[in-house]
Amino acid sequence: REPWNLQVIFSDFGIQGNVLKWIRSYLPGRTTSVYVDGVSSEKFELRYGLPQGSIMGPQQFLIYTAPIGKILRMYDILY
């Protein structure tokens, strides 16, 4: 399962081609660790989301929340 819904990116935002390939290649293979009281855990793979401070964080938020507007409009809810 891909961490981003690439169908939403394609259909709602019109992202395709090389840009979509770049996004797809940017996301997998990320690792992180936890550092507490001077002790670091082993690295583990980030299966979802983006590294903290990533330039793509705001875009990811917009993509994940975009369907909310469609759902609200289906029920004639003004927002």
Indicate the pairing of strand 39-40 with strand 35-36.
antiparallel
Q: What's the pTM? A: 0.47
- What's the pLDDT at 61? 79
Q: What is the 3-state secondary structure (H, E, C) of 13-54?
A: HCCCHHHHHHHHHHCCCCEECCEECCEECCCEECCCCCCCCC
- What's the pLDDT at 36? 94
**pLDDT tens-digit map of 13-68:** 888 888 888 877 777 778 888 899 999 999 988 777 666 677 777 877 787 787 88
